[in-house]
Structure 1
Amino acid sequence: MKKSQKELFDIAARYIILILISFSGLWIFYFIFSPITIYLTAFLLKIFFQTSVIGDVIVLKNHFLIQMINACVAGSAYYLLFILNLSIPKINLKKRIKMICFAFGSFLVVNILR
């Protein structure tokens, strides 16, 4: 395959992935990151308080409730990071996967600490 054909295929593949994920909506990001956000937040709060998790609600000391809504999970921010990453050309697959993992991990840490 010629270099120009390979670049064209790379661009097409990346944008097809973006289009397919946009058709499915943001549910995939919420499906993945909601439980992670809820349980890591509960784990950090458990250092200071007695906590339990019931669905998407964190219960503190049996009478304070923290409900994790979609805005707390920030699925659209993960989607934006994914779009920005896939729109960068000329990055090999291994490095791209590392970049996505680093971006998602960094954002998860910042999101939980806020």
Structure 2
Amino acid sequence: MKRSGSRNCLNQKSCLGSREREWLREDPNRGCVYVYGTDTSASSPDLLVVLCTVETSVSEICASEGRDGLYIQLNGDLVRRLDPQERPLHMIYKYLAALGFQDALRIQEEAAYSDLSCMIRFYSGK
């Protein structure tokens, strides 16, 4: 599942609709990955919300979205290309666990906030 974001989405704590939130509530291993596009000339960011599970790989996301690859940037550091077998949502959950979050439902809730992209950000292009 995917949902295109808008500039208003970035100003809210979560830009998920009721249908997406309901889908997430069914299983704590479900979540969303915010993928930013490469069009920096646009007036609003190219943002795609991809609903997936912790088992969803980069290759699956790329195939469903028609993308060549995904890139990750941690804490504003260098950007690196993700391997096809890496799992973005699993990476987010692991990152939040390292920050001290322990409850699976709380991790899922925190991961759904678009504010997290300040610390861990995915791009659809370099």
Tell me the TM-score normalised to structure 1 length: 0.29
More strand by share: 2
Report which of the two structures shows the higher radius of gyration computed on alpha carbons: 1
Tell me the TM-score normalised to structure 2 length: 0.28
